[in-house]
Amino acid sequence: MINRILRSPNDLNADEIRALYAGFDVPITVEDCGEKCAPHNPSGKAFCCDICEAVPAAYKSEWDILHKKTKLWHLYRGDECDSRPHIQDSRSNDNLPSSMIPLACLGPSACERENRLLSCRQFPFFPYVTSDYEFLGLAYDWAFEEKCWVISNLGQVTDAYKEAFISTYEQLFALFQDEFDSYAIKSEEMREAFIQDGRKIPILHRDGSYRFISPKSERIYSVDESQFPHFGVYK
C-alpha cells in the first residue's frame, strides 16, 4: 500500500518499484513464448527482447533504481543495432509519455528476470480504455501482429498473468491520472486504426472472458478464443 502523496510514477521509491515488480512477475504463457517467435527473427532473438524490433521504456524512477543495481540496462543511444535496420516502436518515439524514457538492455542471453522493466512484463499488451474511460482489459500492440506469437495465441495467456496485469495497472491508475490518460489515448489510436482496417479489436476482458469490441460503436461481443485471428507465420 502506497500512503505517500505522489505526483507521477517518477516519485516511486525503490520499495514501491520492487512491490510492483513482485506483483507482476508471472509468465504470460505456460510455454516459453520467446522460443516460439525467435526462429522467425533473423537475429534469432525473441522479438520482444530484440532492441532492433522493440525499444522498451521505463519510468524514470525505475531507471534511477535499476542503474544503481544492475548493469543490464543503459540509456537508449540509437546505435545498438550496428548495421541492422532499426525499427522503433511507439514507446521510443515522440508519443512516449513524459514520465518515461527509452532504455536498452544487454539482450536476452543476459536477462535478469527480477530486473525486467514493467514495460517488459507488460509486452505485448497494454490496458485498453474505452471512450467513456472504463479500463476494460488487455489489448495488444497491433504493430507486432506479424511477429509476436502470443498475439496469434491469445487463448494461451494464463489467468494468473491477466490478474497480475490488471492488479498492477489498477494500482498505477489509482495513483496517477496521467498514466490512465496516456492509455486512453493509445486505445483511441487503436480504435482509429481498426476502423480504417475494418476489423474488430480482440480484448482479454478483465472478467476473464474473451471479447471483440467494435472500434466504431464500441459494442462488445463475447467470443470463443478460437475466433481470434492468427497472423503471419502463425496462421
pLDDT tens for the chain, 235 residues long, are: 565 556 677 788 889 999 999 999 999 999 999 999 999 999 999 999 998 999 999 999 999 999 999 999 999 988 888 655 544 443 444 567 777 899 999 989 999 999 999 999 999 999 999 999 999 999 999 999 999 999 999 999 999 999 999 999 999 999 888 899 999 999 999 999 999 999 999 999 999 999 999 999 999 999 999 999 999 999 9
The answer to whether position 197 is within a domain reads yes
The answer to whether position 85 is within a domain reads yes
pLDDT at 20: 94
37-75 residues labelled b (16+ CB within 10 A) or e (exposed): bbeebebebbbbbbbbbbbbbbbbbbbebbeeeeebbee
pLDDT at 198: 97
The answer to whether position 120 is within a domain reads yes
Q: Which domain holds residue 53?
A: 9-234
pLDDT at 165: 98
The answer to whether position 3 is within a domain reads no
CB 101 within 8 A of CB 168: no
Distance separating alpha carbons of residues 129 and 45, to the nearest angstrom: 31
The answer to whether position 71 is within a domain reads yes
Assess whether the previous peptide bond of 39 is cis (omega < 30° from 0). no
Residue 152 neighbours by CB distance under 10 Å:
21
Query: If you ran DSSP here, which 8-state letter would residue 129 be given?
Result: E
| Count of structural domains, the chain | 1
DSSP for 151-204 reads GG-GGGS-HHHHHHHHHHHHHHHHH-HHHHHHHHHHHHHHHHHHHHHT-PEEEE
Q: Is the pTM of this model over 0.95?
A: no
The answer to whether position 2 is within a domain reads no
Cell of 90: 511507439
By C-alpha distance, which of 156, 78, 89 is closest to 126? 89
Distance separating alpha carbons of residues 37 and 35, to the nearest angstrom: 6
The answer to whether position 1 is within a domain reads no
The answer to whether position 4 is within a domain reads no
